[in-house]
Amino acid sequence: MPFWSSWKRVQSIISNVNAYSLFKSHEISYQDFMDRWLPGLKNDESLVGINWTGNNAKGYDLEPDQVLEYLNDIVF
């Protein structure tokens, strides 16, 4: 599941990558991401796509626990 850190980043993908041209972005709060999305993705055994970029929307795909650990380290 892809996530972007800013509206500008996701809009760039929607505007420039044909596979995402019909997608709509939805803003979620940091707390909702941490408390609901990451546990839900872990439960679904899904990866977290972080700030995919470029003409093919490529980037890092991480385990939800990795993202949670990293964000806890930099925020707290």
Closest by CA to 2, choosing from 30, 37, 29, 32, is 37
Range of the domain at 8: 2-75
Considering its fold, how many domains does the chain have in total? 1
pTM: 0.84
Residue-by-residue pLDDT tens, the chain, 76 positions: 999 999 999 999 999 999 999 999 999 999 999 999 999 999 999 999 999 999 999 999 999 999 999 998 887 6
Are 13 and 57 contacting, i.e. CB atoms less than 8 angstroms apart?
yes
